[in-house]
Chain A
Amino acid sequence: MSWKHYIGEKRVTKERQYELIRTPVITEKATLGGEHGQVTFKVPMSATKPEIKAAVEALFNVKVKAVNTLRQKGKIKLFRGRAGRRNDTKKAIICLEEGHSIDVTTGV
């Protein structure tokens, strides 16, 4: 039995769905993906691909083909001469099935 067995789609509750999808990423690069049916969101560091898939499908009422995630390390910033670190972030690039789309600018 693999670990995936435990994180089934059923276990993403309504509350968790809203926590998972934090904000759309609106940048030049992200909008470029829009032409290929890809949408980008910021998600919690703890989010997993199946979770994200389930959440997006439930919230936006679309069909997701695949989810790619990446971890972006926080920048190191100096504050009064002390080095500090911004939080790491996780982005999820979601590829939708053909014929589906999400208007990221309108919000949930």
Chain B
Amino acid sequence: MEVTDIKNEGLSHELKIIVPAEDVETKLKAKLEEVSGKVSIPGFRPGKVPPSIIRQRYGEAVRGEVLEMAVGEAMASALKERDLQPAMQPKVEIQKFEDGEELEFIVKVDVLPEIDPVDFKTVEVEKLKVAVDEEQIEKSLADMAENMAGSEPISGKRKSKTGDIVVLDFEGKVGGEPFDGGKASDFHLTLGSNQFVPGFEDQLLGLTAGSDVSVKVTMPDEYPAENLAGKEAIFECTVKEIREKKEAELNDEFAKNLGLESLDALRTQMRERTESEYSSVCREKTKRALLDKLDNLHQFELPGSMVGSEYDSIWQQYLEAKKNHPENAEDDEVENPEKFYRNVAERRVRLGLLLAAVGQRNNIDVSAEEVNRALIAEAQRHPGQEKKIIEMYRENNQAMASIRAPLFEDKVVDFILEMANVSEREVTLDELKKEIEAEQMAAAEKSQPKKKVSTKKKAAPKKKAAPKKKTPAKKTARSAKKDKNDE
């Protein structure tokens, strides 16, 4: 085997590999022999077919396999010899592969960069802490009570007014014909909730229980059912009962209705829930800040192919989003989307590689148990098909990796946070909200002019990344991880 360097610039290498004809031939022969035991050709007993005939019939097919095998082997040994760690699947270009001649091909490979994580002790991260406000809890309790409000039938002959709940039977007709979904009985309609077609509820005002009324409405033009849109409809309604809203009182009884012991227990639960909510928001923020810092602190060369494929997938998403929601596109139109997304891709790849490297160096691993837990949590989000979901993930390695990646990322971030210089700061909820907003604004603004100067630095793509429901690094952590698995 003969290996020559064609290109060696930074991370991208190009190797020309020549495999001698004899090597290919021996491989081919071995493969043909393997085949000869299996095939049956008329006129010959199985396994007794002369090699020349096997070769004539199956030579082409086997050659393909042999080519793949020979290329794979030669490439692996060449990379090992040169001590190259490919970042992605290397690209292979076959130059020459003729019968009885040497095999010649070119391998284009991007190697993983040397990553030298900074001393995390020097990284300063601010951790926000939000104290739970008692007032807030009381308020949300009150909200809850309102939502839980029951209703009581009105005795006597009061007339219906806005805010009442009307229990009614109705049948709707368009042009004398009843239509689908136009009929219901014992329907609880809150007047003023605008649940129905505009104008419908107004006509039910001022009625008493037991009265019949026919309601005439014009269906709005944008009504979902096309055959009804814009048509006149008549609804025959019978008002059975008028109920009045009654707010639930905040007491132990209320808590018991919710399956808790007392109002205090409810309060504690609320507090806990709010706390965990706040802390997860804060954590997200801290993590983002940390990732920003790390992104700034590390400037290593990125394998072009990885950035390329990441960019392609982002670009695809972008085009897709543009196609599906053309109306949204204008809001966050970036001046030079190609450049913008390339920066995003670079950031993702950089952070992904960095996190993967840190994780590897410090033996951070995600245990099977943790994966299982996450898997079950994921399955529970689709009630009724838990089994199916779990099965799907079990069978699909890539899907498994997508569960694994965020766990891994979180663990590494935790690890770094432990080492980092973390300062805590207490803020109120409002302050936190403001800060997050300000950050987003700044990010959006900052990204614009920066791109024009085309600095290689990150373009703080938070606003973009958020709707995709991924933190920027997650994706690359996954792909980086996947690549590693592929090796």
Q: Do A and B truly interact?
A: yes
Could you tell me which A residues sit within 8 Å of B by CB distance? Answer: 25-28, 30-31, 105
Contact A28 B45 (CB under 8 A): yes
CA distance A10 to B52 in the complex (A): 36
Chain A nearest CB: distance from B59 CB in Å?
Answer: 11
Contacting B56 at CB < 8 Å: which of A25, A27, A105? Answer: A105
CA distance A30 to B48 in the complex (A): 13
List of A residues within 8 angstroms of B48 by Cβ: 28
Main SS class of interface, B:
loop
Main SS class of interface, A:
loop
6 contacts between A and B (CB under 8 A): A25-B43, A26-B43, A27-B43, A28-B49, A105-B53, A105-B56
Given known contacts A27-B44, A31-B53, A105-B52, what 13 new A-B pairs fall within 8 Å (CB)?
Answer: A25-B43, A26-B43, A26-B53, A27-B43, A28-B43, A28-B44, A28-B45, A28-B48, A28-B49, A30-B43, A31-B50, A105-B53, A105-B56
Q: What is the size, in residues, of chain B's interface with A at 8 Å between Cβ atoms?
A: 9
List of B residues within 8 angstroms of A31 by Cβ: 50, 53
Contact residues, B26-55 vs A (CB, 8 A): 43-45, 48-50, 52-53
- Most B Cβ at <10 Å: residue of A25, A26, A105: A26
Identity of the chain B residue whose Cβ is nearest the Cβ of A34 in the assembled complex: B50
Chain B nearest CB: distance from A77 CB in Å?
Answer: 17
Chain B nearest CB: distance from A86 CB in Å?
Answer: 16
CA distance A105 to B43 in the complex (A): 14
CA distance A23 to B181 in the complex (A): 76
Chain B nearest CB: distance from A42 CB in Å?
Answer: 12
Chain A nearest CB: distance from B58 CB in Å?
Answer: 13
Chain B nearest CB: distance from A89 CB in Å?
Answer: 14
CA distance A88 to B53 in the complex (A): 27
Identity of the chain B residue whose Cβ is nearest the Cβ of A35 in the assembled complex: B50
List of B residues within 8 angstroms of A25 by Cβ: 43
CA distance A27 to B53 in the complex (A): 10
List of B residues within 8 angstroms of A28 by Cβ: 43-45, 48-49
Chain B nearest CB: distance from A104 CB in Å?
Answer: 10
Identity of the chain A residue whose Cβ is nearest the Cβ of B41 in the assembled complex: A26
Chain B nearest CB: distance from A46 CB in Å?
Answer: 25
Chain A nearest CB: distance from B53 CB in Å?
Answer: 7
Please provide the 10 A-B residue pairs with the shortest distance between their CB atoms, ordered closest to farther: A27-B43, A28-B44, A31-B50, A105-B56, A26-B43, A28-B48, A28-B43, A28-B45, A27-B44, A26-B53
CA distance A25 to B43 in the complex (A): 9
- Most A Cβ at <10 Å: residue of B43, B45, B48, B56: B43
CA distance A26 to B44 in the complex (A): 9
Chain B nearest CB: distance from A29 CB in Å?
Answer: 8
Chain A nearest CB: distance from B57 CB in Å?
Answer: 9
CA distance A84 to B189 in the complex (A): 87
CA distance A105 to B53 in the complex (A): 8
CA distance A26 to B45 in the complex (A): 12
CA distance A22 to B50 in the complex (A): 23
List of A residues within 8 angstroms of B53 by Cβ: 26, 31, 105
List of B residues within 8 angstroms of A30 by Cβ: 43
Chain B nearest CB: distance from A94 CB in Å?
Answer: 18
List of B residues within 8 angstroms of A105 by Cβ: 52-53, 56
Chain B nearest CB: distance from A21 CB in Å?
Answer: 18
Contact residues, B400-434 vs A (CB, 8 A): none
Chain A nearest CB: distance from B39 CB in Å?
Answer: 14
CA distance A27 to B45 in the complex (A): 9
- Most B Cβ at <10 Å: residue of A25, A27, A30, A31: A31
CA distance A26 to B56 in the complex (A): 13
Identity of the chain A residue whose Cβ is nearest the Cβ of B55 in the assembled complex: A105
Chain A nearest CB: distance from B40 CB in Å?
Answer: 12
CA distance A25 to B52 in the complex (A): 15
CA distance A94 to B49 in the complex (A): 22
Chain A nearest CB: distance from B125 CB in Å?
Answer: 75
